[in-house]
């Protein structure tokens, strides 16, 4: 008879059985606990908590400013990436731009944009501090009449505008004259790409200045806007497409543009252009909609305001090689509501810093905590407007170089002189030298103005005025006279403002592709925006 298992083997077998039983029991217990947790979660009777730590905010002022700039840059990159790019980041498109001073006697820049299907050209005033793009519009039910504008026959292509030779009714007793400009009317019924917004749509409720009183699906999304210069526009919102020439010369449709079909305009210079092209920091603006599809960057080169009728520069969306050149300045971009600004550190006249209270420039860590401080850029404003704490020392310093000249009284200006402007601001015969003027900005950037940007030449014949006015409430505003003959870039992706001096008259990219773009358009036979009167 064979011998049974030894004691050692029995012990090992018993240990193995106990181990297996223990593991099985633990697994069964864990499964029961897991089932209980799931049941508790489904019943809503339990929860768990994880710690969340607030980001560290530096204590010093400059470190706090840099901290919040980094946060803004991150947020802007997220926003820009929410919309797919139309082309690659290397693509760009450009729109021709002119100064309207010698064309329609208004101190603004006009951009030609082809809108609708078929695409038709409209001359729109460039505004960096506006969020509504609107075009003077005729709805079918109005049978061609347009409230707020002189009625012209449907076949008319020009409109007469009466302007004063004295630049605003000064003491020179100037006479009025008539200038003719082309007026193009936008007709939604004739554009197959027009889509009217309704008050029932969420998109309508998010649009600025909307006047919808109830979410009625049969009511058009209406708006009423009063601008800083008291210009009024009202109408209906819709979505449209623009036709643009991309950097390779091909024509592309830019979709998803919010357009105000303006049925009423009043005030300002509304009769000297077809509408407004907004570049402001708002999802509804043309500038943001286009920049989202072209790398988050836009740039514009401002010709001299007194440039000739046929001179043109450009508005560019996408990477612009002309910006990256010797002498380009960079400063952090600040978002001031819908406008763009920069942090000013000081102003120099004749190389000497002016005594300006530092709190005037303190926008706060977020760049907009103190809405009345700092300075913004506005291409829709001509003269530079400064709060009293800045205006008084600036004008006192400049006047000290011109006070020996006979004074002149011109409406809208405080400091005017009987003197015929010399091209470089130097006139030994009258002992006149316009001093240097510069605005110092964060990042060691400096906006150095030429003499014709410091004084406004020939406001009336033989009279110049300082190109600055007082504003009762901030922020201060850099107008297009001080911005002229510079190229400017707003880089949303990097939250950087770039600029440098440029005559804006020799741009190969525009010259190369503009003719091809025009010949490819179905409306290439349309007359130019401002023909000779």
Q: What is the pLDDT of residue 368?
A: 67
Is residue 111 within 8 Å of 315, Cβ to Cβ?
Answer: yes
Q: What is the pLDDT of residue 26?
A: 56
Q: What is the pLDDT of residue 167?
A: 40
pLDDT tier at 159, thresholds 50, 70, 90: very low
Q: How many whole angstroms separate alpha carbon 335 and alpha carbon 488?
A: 16
Q: Per-residue pLDDT for 235 more than 60?
A: yes
Residues in contact with 475: Cβ distance below 8 Å, sequence separation at least 6, in sequence order: 336, 341, 363, 371, 372, 373, 374, 375, 376, 387
Higher-pLDDT residue of 524 and 132 is 132
Q: Per-residue pLDDT for 511 more than 50?
A: no
pLDDT (average), residues 359-378: 86
424-441 pLDDT, tens digit each: 899 999 999 999 999 999
Residues in contact with 109: Cβ distance below 8 Å, sequence separation at least 6, in sequence order: 97, 98, 99, 100, 125, 126, 300, 302, 303, 379, 480
Q: Per-residue pLDDT for 184 more than 90?
A: no
pLDDT tier at 261, thresholds 50, 70, 90: very high
Phi/psi at 78 (5° precision): -65, -45
Domain boundaries, the chain: 88-140+183-293, 324-507
| Residue closest to 231 by CA, chosen among 273, 184, 198 | 273
Q: Per-residue pLDDT for 232 more than 50?
A: yes
- Do the domains 88-140+183-293 and 324-507 sit in the same CATH topology, yes or no? yes
| Both structure tokens of 186 | 């936008």
Q: What is the chain's length?
A: 533
Highest mean pLDDT among 18-27, 265-274, 309-318: 309-318
Q: Per-residue pLDDT for 171 more than 70?
A: no
> Lowest-confidence range among 327-331, 480-484, 507-511?
507-511
Q: Per-residue pLDDT for 47 more than 90?
A: no
319-356 pLDDT, tens digit each: 888 898 889 999 999 999 999 999 999 999 999 999 99
Residues in contact with 302: Cβ distance below 8 Å, sequence separation at least 6, in sequence order: 99, 109, 313, 379, 480, 483, 484, 485, 486, 487, 488, 504
Is residue 105 within 8 Å of 179, Cβ to Cβ?
Answer: yes
The CATH number that domain 324-507 falls under is 2.40.70.10
Coil, helix or strand for 179?
Answer: strand
What is the model's pTM?
0.75
Q: What is the pLDDT of residue 80?
A: 45
Phi/psi at 185 (5° precision): -100, 130
Cα 403 from chain centre: 38
What percent of the chain has a predicted confidence (pLDDT) above 90? Answer: 49
pLDDT (average), residues 153-169: 35
Q: What is the pLDDT of residue 239?
A: 97
| Residue closest to 337 by CA, chosen among 391, 373, 294 | 373
> Lowest-confidence range among 30-39, 179-188, 196-205, 227-236?
30-39
The CATH number that domain 88-140+183-293 falls under is 2.40.70.10
Helix H or strand E encompassing 449: strand 445-449
Q: How many whole angstroms separate alpha carbon 137 and alpha carbon 118?
A: 16
């Amino acid at each position: 008879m064979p011998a049974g298992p030894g004691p050692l083997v029995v012990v090992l077998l018993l240990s193995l059985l106990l181990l297996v039983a223990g593991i099985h029991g633990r697994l069964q217990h864990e499964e029961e606990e897991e089932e209980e947790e799931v049941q508790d979660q489904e019943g809503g009777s339990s929860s768990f908590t994880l710690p969340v730590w607030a980001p560290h905010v530096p204590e010093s002022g400059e470190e706090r400013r840099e901290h919040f700039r980094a946060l803004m840059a991150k947020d802007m990159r997220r926003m820009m990436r929410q919309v797919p790019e139309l082309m690659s980041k290397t693509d760009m498109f450009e729109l021709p731009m002119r100064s309207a001073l010698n064309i329609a006697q208004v101190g603004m820049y006009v951009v030609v944009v082809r809108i609708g299907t078929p695409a038709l050209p409209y001359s729109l005033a460039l505004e960096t501090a506006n969020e509504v793009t609107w075009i003077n519009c005729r709805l079918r039910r109005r049978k061609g009449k347009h409230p707020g504008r002189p009625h012209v026959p449907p076949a008319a292509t020009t409109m007469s505008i009466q302007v004063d030779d004295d630049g605003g009714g000064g003491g020179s007793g100037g006479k009025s004259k008539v200038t003719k400009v082309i007026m193009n009317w936008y007709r939604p019924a004739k554009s197959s790409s027009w889509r009217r917004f309704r008050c029932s749509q969420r998109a309508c409720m998010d649009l600025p200045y909307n006047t919808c009183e109830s979410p009625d699906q049969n009511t058009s999304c209406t708006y009423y806007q009063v601008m800083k210069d008291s210009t009024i526009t009202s109408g209906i919102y819709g979505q449209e497409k623009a036709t643009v020439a991309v950097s390779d010369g091909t024509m592309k449709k830019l979709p998803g543009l919010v357009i105000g079909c303006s049925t009423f305009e009043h005030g300002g210079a509304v009769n000297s252009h077809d509408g407004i092209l907004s570049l402001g920091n708002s999802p509804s603006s043309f500038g943001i909609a286009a920049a989202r599809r072209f790398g988050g960057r836009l740039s514009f080169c401002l010709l001299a305001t007194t440039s000739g009728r046929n001179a043109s520069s450009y508005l560019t969306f996408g990477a612009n090689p002309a910006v990256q050149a010797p002498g380009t300045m960079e400063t952090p971009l600040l978002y001031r509501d819908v406008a763009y600004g920069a942090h000013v550190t000081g102003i120099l006249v004749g190389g000497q810093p002016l005594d300006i209270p530092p709190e005037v420039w303190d926008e706060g860590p977020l760049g907009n905590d103190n809405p009345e401080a700092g300075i913004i850029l506005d291409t829709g404003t001509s003269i530079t407007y400064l709060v009293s704490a800045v205006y008084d020392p600036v004008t006192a310093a400049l006047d000290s170089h011109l006070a020996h000249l006979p004074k002149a009284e011109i409406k809208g200006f405080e400091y005017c002189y009987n003197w015929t402007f010399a091209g470089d601001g130097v006139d030994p015969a009258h002992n006149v030298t316009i001093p240097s003027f510069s605005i110092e900005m964060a990042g060691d950037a400096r906006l150095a103005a030429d003499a014709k940007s410091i004084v406004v030449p020939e406001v009336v014949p033989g009279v110049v005025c300082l190109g600055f006015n007082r504003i009762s409430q901030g922020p201060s505003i850099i107008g297009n006279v001080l911005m002229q003959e510079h190229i400017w870039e707003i880089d949303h992706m990097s939250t950087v403002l770039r600029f440098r001096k440029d005559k804006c008259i020799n741009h190969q990219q525009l010259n190369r592709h503009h003719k091809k773009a025009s010949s490819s358009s179905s409306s290439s036979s349309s007359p130019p925006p401002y023909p000779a009167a």
